[in-house]
Structure 1
Amino acid sequence: MFVDKTKIYVKAGDGGHGAATFRREKYVAYGGPDGGDGGTGGSIIFRADPNINTLIDFRFKRKHKAENGVNGARKKCHGRRGENLVLNIPVGTIVREAQTGHLIADLSEEGQEEIIVKGGRGGRGNARFVNSVRQAPTIAERGEPGVEIEVLLELKLLADVGLVGFPNVGKSTFLSKVTKAEPKIGNYHFTTIHPNLGVAKAKDKSFVIADIPGLIEGAHEGAGLGLQFLRHIERTRMLLHVIDISGSENRDPYEDFTSINNELKMYNEKLAELPQVIVANKIDLLEDSTQVIEEFKAKINNQYEIFPLSAATKEGIEDLLNYLATKLETIPKVEIFKAEDFKVYKPEPEEEFTISKDNEVFVVHGKNIEKLVAMTNFDNTDSVLRFQRIFRKIGIEDALRQKGVKEGDTVRILDMEFDFQ
């Protein structure tokens, strides 16, 4: 089963908690704090694997979570970091943030790896909070939660040449003759229901050809298999437009040609600008192919190179492959998003914190304060006092007073609620 688009949930591992312990050894009268830091949580990494050509594995398993970091221990022993979770995906897969559509990664090279979400930082142990005033702190941070998001995986095949045309014009037959690909071939529409890739060779050069399922009028609006596979043409360097020059299905080859080009343009104007070569297939069904070809050339004003051939008998195929090998040397590689453009996903800048009301409850939102709440151990008095100091220092207490908070009112941050004092 070919799957080229799916949505999954990924969560990096949480950081391990820091330890709040003290050195206790014989003959050591005043053992100081020796709590170690928690380990960093594992990250989620996507790897482009050339041996995978579908996203079907992610259709049945949609939730993926990396390992949490291990908690710190006494004697300043730091916790082990969580194992990264590496997910193998097909080469040519684009990763987007599902809610906003922001591009996260474009895995277009074999073996390419990108960190999609990073693991949470490990909490600091109490040995890290020693200073000249506080000699025996009991403060220890909890681990930072790992990042979690829903991502949209979208596969766009990478090929040098893309075969386009109406159903049943001979694209799959052509691909089977010039490569070792084994597409399904049949004398009915939509025999091909998913893209096929094959490697062709000519002039000691090799190039990849993609057979895209047949397009029909209205494909850019989703008719037939249109929207499902038009995206795969975006990655090709040039188009091989296959037409049935014999008109064996009582269709006009010129009308087919203009109709498909119009669909490409309506979907993405850049597709209409790609270099294009016309393959006039099924000449073996014509008594006088030369006259028909000349009439077709006149209709297109000789704007495109046209190669008469018969995919069934292989007539004309060698000349076409030699031309393609030469032509591809002059066409630049497909522009791919560079890693430095997207490797670290940064959401839109947000205010340090915001305050709103939910009935009678004052709700505080903000990345930094929410992280502080998640990493604070509220069962420890010193940790709570530290939280209160930071709470006042960054101005939340004053902001709440300006919003009208009074003694005893409830304030909520994440899932934690407390009475304002």
Structure 2
Amino acid sequence: MRSWPAPQVPSLTDGGFAVPAHRLRLHDTGTGTLSPTSPGETAGMYVCGITPYDATHLGHANTYLAFDLVNRVWRDLGHRVHYVQNATDVDDPLLERARQTGVDWRELAEREIELFREDMTALRVLPPDQYVGAVEAIPLIIEMIEKLRAKDATYEVEGDVYFPVAADPSFGSVSGLGRAAMMPLFAERGGDPGREGKRDPLDALIWMAQRPGEPGWDSPFGRGRPGWHVECSAISIEHLGMAFDVEGGGSDLAFPHHEMGASHAQVATGEHPHARAYVHAGMVGLDGEKMSKSRGNLVFVSKLRRAGTDPMAIRLALLAHHYRSDWEWTQSDLDEARARLARWREAVQAPAAPPAGALVDEVRGHLARDLDAPAALAAVDRWAAQTGTDPSAPAQARTLIDALLGIDL
């Protein structure tokens, strides 16, 4: 699947600033601790993508901007970044929306994926090296299910294939949740805990036998289509292997999606861990509830852009909130971001400004501590409010803001 064009990312080291000596520390959901990432020459990151049955809303954008910061900070630290993202281009919500609207499910998926590409391009999100759809990954998924089956880690219920969570002794370590907390979330987030014939209510569907009127693909376990969690396991292992540095997504993916995906991967390969850290972005709300397609309480990036909103103001409005926080979108978020953008643009167009060295150190330090973008934005605000005599500082600040915050001034 085609990704989207990459923005040019300037280098702070080319501008005379040394590579920082610190490491990026991120909050790992499973342990609940802030831990340093320890990539080798290449850092590996997998971020779960959209189910393309509607346009990109600000909750999506908030998540992908968080991991764009991870990408940018690692690059500034001298790492190459191998970034992989999927798109779930066949799944129940997509098929249901296609039936409701009378549109072919493939046409709907491609239309919304293209709009997602346009939104990510406008927001200057660095693209994945591999952008992989579930449909194109079906051979990989079948191969993974066969590995699980060879290890007696599958069973069937009326033609559907399930993964027994008991096959993974570490099940629960990704989300840090106990069974009592898992059960309602599993039912709420696409699971089927009440299905008769399952060995454990939490066992996950990995291959669904073809239903009338729905798409299907041939496999050794019958014609059908993949479950959701196994999709990301197969794609991530194919392109990143095991024990890559970060798997990310919204906080609603910690369980069951990332928990199940890790178990699938670990049992299939016999290796541990699937990812070294699981990092999750908070939820963006509107009108008192989480912004989601199912609720319909959405603010779309594309709609804001069509109304003439500068994408850099959208990006700044999102970065003004810490990536792990849950917060509610209001018009004031956008108004404040527009005013901030204007102040910053004025500051970098001045003939001189205060020296930028301290600002570079401060922004780098804030982002290295669990992506504290609000503190980084406040540091730029303080710099922009001062006057100075260094003629090189405006250009250096512009480079910093572009390279690490992704804001084109």
Q: TM-score range by the shorter chain?
A: under 0.3
TM-score normalised per structure 2: 0.22
Q: Which has the higher contact order (CA 8 A, sep 6+)?
A: 2
Q: Higher strand fraction: Structure 1 or Structure 2?
A: 1
Larger Rg: 1
TM-score normalised per structure 1: 0.21
